[in-house]
Amino acid sequence: MTDPLTPFRWLEADIGDESDLLGEIFCVSFFHRLDPAEVLSRFAPVSPAETMTFKESCGRARAYFEDTRDILYVGVAQVGEWSVAVEPWGGQAVLSTMMTRLSRAGEVVSVGRNDYARHRFAYAIDGTVVAGFNPAEPDRRWGSDPDRLSGLMREVGMDLEPPEGEWGVESWYGRPNQEPVARAFALAAKITGVALTLTAANRLQFVGAARKHERSTKTGRDGQRAMSREESAEIRQWAKAHGLPLSETRRIASSVVENAEDPRDMP
- Name which of 100, 180, 105 is nearest 144 in CA terms: 100
Please, how many CA atoms are within 13 Å of residue 145, restricted to the half-sphere of its CB?
8
What pLDDT is stored for residue 242 in this prediction? Answer: 54
207-257 pLDDT, tens digit each:
999 998 865 444 444 444 455 555 566 566 656 655 666 776 667 776 666
Q: Along the chain (267 residues), what's the average pLDDT of each consecutive run of 10 residues?
A: 89 88 94 97 95 96 82 95 94 82 95 90 95 93 94 95 59 65 98 97 97 61 49 63 65 65 43
Distance spanning both ends of the chain, measured CA to CA: 43
Query: Looking at residue 222, what is its pLDDT?
Result: 44
User: Helices 229-241 and 254-261: crossing angle, nearest 10°?
Assistant: 90
Quote the CA–CA distance of 112 and 66 in Å, as a whole number. Answer: 19
| Residue 217: per-residue pLDDT | 44
CA 174 to chain centroid:
22
pTM value is 0.80
What is the C-alpha R_g of the chain? 18
Per DSSP, the three-state class of 207 is strand
Q: Edge-to-edge, what's the strand order for the sheet holding 71-79?
A: 50-53, 205-212, 71-79, 82-87, 25-32, 107-114, 120-125, 128-133, 141-142
What does the pLDDT read at residue 33? Answer: 97
